[in-house]
Amino acid sequence: MPEMKELTPSQRTLLGPGPSNVHPRVYRALSTPIVGHLDPEFLVLMNEIQEQLRQLLQTRNKLTIAISGTGSAGMEAALTNVVEPVDNIIVGVNGVFGNRISDIVVRCGANPIQIKEQWGKSIDLQKIEDALKQAGKVKAVALVHAETSTGVWQPLAEAGALCEKYGALLIVDAVTSLGGVPVKVDEWKIDICYSGTQKCLSCPPGLAPITFSERALAVARERTTRIRSWYLDLTMIADYWSDSSRAYHHTAPISMNYALREALRLVHEEGLEARWQRHRRNSLELLRGLAALNLHPFVDKEIRLPMLNAITLPEGIEDATVRKTLLTEYGIEIGGGLGDLAGRIWRIGLMGESSTRANVVYLLAALKDIL
């Protein structure tokens, strides 16, 4: 077996769909000594993470935790805990991650009722209401707040009240939006909301913030069939995160929780409003600079994400060649299109620590040189 050399990954400016660059304080937190997952000091840290997540998600939900796993684990947990066989689940599908939600619903033995929209467009709430009227009993409506594959920002302010009217839960994918734009769980009457650490929170991938309303938790506890995942069974995980029980469930990734705690400290030190404004300001500057290069947004202004900028490629630009040159000669990573949008768009992320004016200027200068 050949000798393995010391690990020396290249320095990258991460301006793709995730992960984003990590603050030095978060790296330092990762390198601090670990303790046991039931050590009194770690239990205090868990409480701190919960409270910081509640502030970030703008909720008072007791079950607000960080699941041990990436954002996709959050998606699985959100669905497998409340979806049972033969349930009707309305899913907004306008990109890759709406399709992924539908896939998980099928794997739960349930029936996904897809509200499909053209990629690059948001889901019309009237179509959701029509489906709620026609489908009979609907267990939940699942929507992607920030569709990472297209850069679409899904309006949610009225969705929760609509779901409540028809007795359905509202499940929201906020993997890319949390920390970059407002996510108002209580005000918008969201029952389940999940995210990931590697996007606008600028923490390495590995944890999935998630929150369950009391109504959603009751649905999970009162279901007639067993939750299909043991590892993601929140009726058990909730006891591990509870002050009153602290029942052992699994060995939590200690260092990742250190990192998330520090990343959340940075978010709250900056302030949520200031952070949202920074993402918007840098996105607008990027779009102005790209327009001068004849590169324009793929998504309409009203539903355009500031942290994930989807850009239409004009004829004559070789997608893969430009992205490879950016990476190898400038150390800049941006994302290409997925599915039907492969070769047709770029996905430029300005998330968390990566959302800086210096990065915008650097990327624009590199693209000008290449093009």
- Do 156 and 199 sit in the same domain of this protein? yes
The residue range of the domain holding 172 is 24-268
- Do 82 and 175 sit in the same domain of this protein? yes
Closest CA to 238 of 227, 229, 247: 247
**What is residue 245's predicted lDDT score, i.e. its pLDDT?**
81
- Do 260 and 294 sit in the same domain of this protein? no
- Do 258 and 291 sit in the same domain of this protein? no
- Do 365 and 250 sit in the same domain of this protein? no
pLDDT 10s digits, 316-355: 999 999 999 999 999 999 999 998 899 999 999 999 999 9
Which residues in the chain land under pLDDT 50? none
For residue 245, give the CATH number of its domain: 3.40.640.10
Residue 5 counted as domain residue: no
**What is residue 37's predicted lDDT score, i.e. its pLDDT?**
92
Among candidate residues 253, 268, 283, the one where a domain is terminated: 268
The 3-class secondary structure across 316-359, one letter per residue, is CCCHHHHHHHHHHHHCEECEECCHHHCCCEEEEECCHHHCCHHH
Upper half-sphere CA count for residue 289 (Cβ side, 13 Å): 20
Among candidate residues 252, 268, 284, the one where a domain is terminated: 268
- Do 173 and 264 sit in the same domain of this protein? yes
- Do 31 and 146 sit in the same domain of this protein? yes
**What is residue 67's predicted lDDT score, i.e. its pLDDT?**
97
- Do 301 and 363 sit in the same domain of this protein? yes
Number of domains forming the structure of the chain: 2
For residue 329, give the CATH number of its domain: 3.90.1150.10
- Do 278 and 162 sit in the same domain of this protein? no
pLDDT 10s digits, 212-266: 999 999 999 999 999 999 999 999 999 999 888 888 899 999 999 999 999 999 9
Residue 7 counted as domain residue: no
Cis peptide before 19 (omega within 30 of 0): yes
Among candidate residues 201, 234, 268, the one where a domain is terminated: 268
**What is residue 244's predicted lDDT score, i.e. its pLDDT?**
81
- Do 127 and 224 sit in the same domain of this protein? yes
- Do 104 and 230 sit in the same domain of this protein? yes
Residue 136 counted as domain residue: yes
- Do 150 and 205 sit in the same domain of this protein? yes
**How far is residue 209's CA from residue 51's CA, in Å, rounded to a whole number?**
12
Residue 209 counted as domain residue: yes
Residue 305 backbone phi and psi in degrees, to 5: -75, 135
